[in-house]
Structure 1
Amino acid sequence: MTHTMRVLKSEWTKVRSVRSTLWTLATAFIVTVGLGALICALTESGFGDRSPADRRTFDATFISFAGMGLGQLAMIAFGVMVVSAEYSTGMIRNSLAAVPQRSTFLWCKMLVVGPLVLVIGMITSFVTFFLGQALLGSHGVGIGDTGVLRAVIGGGIYMALISLFSVGITFVLRSPLLAFAILMPWFFLVSNILGQVHATKKVAEYLPDQAGTAVMSVVPETLNRPYGPWEGLLIMAAWTAAALVAGFIVLKERDA
């Protein structure tokens, strides 16, 4: 077994042996699917009360992802915990002693965490969509309709990116309390507030979550962004890449 394979096996063991990390992924699935289903059911029952203008711009695909705002918090928690567990337990010293090549250590962690959150994100996104459309009834759309498959796949990628962004930020901060104190309020509250205030709205459109959610929109009027859905996801990917690079720089330059 090569050195890299041993490191990958070690990182996988770390992830699956800590129950709290796996529970956060389960929570992300349950919250996103459950809240999305509830909102779709309520939307269908009250659809007749909508104005003609609201009906014309109704985005059945986007409404099925309404639970992702809370579900993403669990994905953020997962990203924080897979890194902070190293620092809070002092395991980081043993990890870096066993893998002195810090780039190898980081990339092996990414090769374990990245595919895992992508798979969970995709499963969550597809289940959320199909259940939501079933509950919307005649107001729902099909996976083969224009832009829908892109939105569903994009939703899964979004959940993976938000988790990887949190991994990078936690490597920078090296503290679970600080990471949670910054990331949770920011994505749950601050980012949304900035997006609603006229003076900061144009800046907020380029924040990672605000840009990333554009990919889940099929009706342009839903989000009214100055860029397209894939461009929005690329903006979020750039934020994620920047966070991971910053995390690597801190990991490389600072002592464990």
Structure 2
Amino acid sequence: MAASQVIRSEWTKIRSVASTVWTLSLAVVVSIALGMLVSALSRSQFDQLSPRDRLSFDPTYISFAGMSLGQLAMIVFGVLVVSNEYSTGMIRTSLAAVPQRGTFLFGKIAVAAVLALAVGLVTGFAAFFLGQAVLGPHRAGIGDPGVLRAVLGGGLYMALIAVFSMGVAAMLRSPMLSLGILMPFFFLISNILGNVDATKKVGRYLPDQAGSRIMRVVTPIGDDTPYGPWGGLGIMALWVIAALAGGYLLLKRRDA
């Protein structure tokens, strides 16, 4: 089957499954709603901030606070895109139709990645503009230095989270096992490693910790992170490449 046919087939599969539509919708709603809530709280407490905290105040990053939960929906989306076919047994039919396993896997990932990027960009811009509206006098403008990069980076970050999850799901094949590992890792373990002094230097190289750097405009006082916004996104991209490579190698070697 030609690559263009594989892409059309995968697009049909993705848009015909209700769960993928719901998870993407949830990612948008949660990210925007929580970002607006945190922005409102930040505005109400701004006058109580110390001079040091005011210097580290990052209105752009505050509006992206909801992405910490929204990314969990993107993880579910990425896992379901790949592992649904294993749980239903459709993988045998798919591989019979597309025997070139690399074409099959990367066609699926390409379609899902473009969709995740589109949703991520919509989420990033909506979260930014609505969050800044709530922040009022403390808001940032899209034309301020570093702000457009952060907003676009937010969309890229959400897409990379989804693609990383696809790679992990391709390796593990089971939706329950994939979610059972990814959800605690991103929601709990990564935050612990990134905030405990003994493990902070290791935690900053995890995919979400490194990638979220792209959404920062103001560097917190005392922050000694050895990479910048694009460096952090590059580290995250390496994690994604490793996950996709692992998924491809295992798909190539295993039976359906």
Residues 21-32 of structure 1 mapped to structure 2, 5 A cutoff = 21-32=20-31
2:105 counterpart residue number: 106
1:239 counterpart residue number: 239
Residues 31-110 of structure 1 mapped to structure 2, 5 A cutoff = 31-110=30-109
CA shift, 1:224, in A, is 4.5
1:252 counterpart residue number: 252
Q: Cα gap change, 1:74/1:90 in structure 2, threshold over 3 Å: closer, same or farther?
A: same
- CA deviations 1:99-126 (Å, max 9, x no partner) are 0000110121122111100000000000
CA distance in 1, matches of 2:225, 2:132: 24
- CA deviations 1:200-231 (Å, max 9, x no partner) are 11011100000001011111117652110000
Q: Cα gap change, 1:65/1:242 in structure 2, threshold over 3 Å: closer, same or farther?
A: same
CA distance in 2, matches of 1:230, 1:95: 37
CA distance in 1, matches of 2:13, 2:219: 42
CA distance in 2, matches of 1:28, 1:120: 8
Residue type of the partner of 1:172? M
SS in 1 for 2:145: coil
CA distance in 2, matches of 1:57, 1:167: 35
Q: Would the aligned equivalents of 1:214 and 1:225 in 2 still touch at CA under 8 Å?
A: no
TM-score, normalising length from structure 1? 0.98
SS in 1 for 2:69: helix
- How many pairs align? 255
2:210 is the alignment partner of 1:211: yes
Work out the percentage of aligned pairs sharing the same amino acid.
Answer: 62
- Unpaired segments of 5 or more residues in structure 2? none
Residue type of the partner of 1:241? I
Provide the aligned C-alpha RMSD in A. 1.0
CA shift, 1:199, in A, is 1.5
CA distance in 2, matches of 1:25, 1:225: 32
SS in 2 for 1:211: helix
CA distance in 1, matches of 2:157, 2:225: 17
TM-score, normalising length from structure 2? 0.98
CA distance in 2, matches of 1:60, 1:48: 14
CA shift, 1:62, in A, is 0.6
Residue type of the partner of 1:225? T
Q: Which moved more, 1:104-113 or 1:171-180?
A: 104-113
CA shift, 1:46, in A, is 1.6
- CA deviations 1:49-105 (Å, max 9, x no partner) are 111111111011111111110000000000000011110000100000000000110
Residue type of the partner of 1:237? A
2:175 is the alignment partner of 1:176: yes
CA shift, 1:5, in A, is 2.0
CA distance in 1, matches of 2:116, 2:52: 38
Residue type of the partner of 2:155? G
CA distance in 2, matches of 1:3, 1:238: 29
Q: Which moved more, 1:43-52 or 1:245-254?
A: 43-52
Runs of at least 4 residues off by over 3 Å: none
2:230 counterpart residue number: 230
CA distance in 1, matches of 2:160, 2:106: 15
Q: Which moved more, 1:152-161 or 1:109-118?
A: 109-118
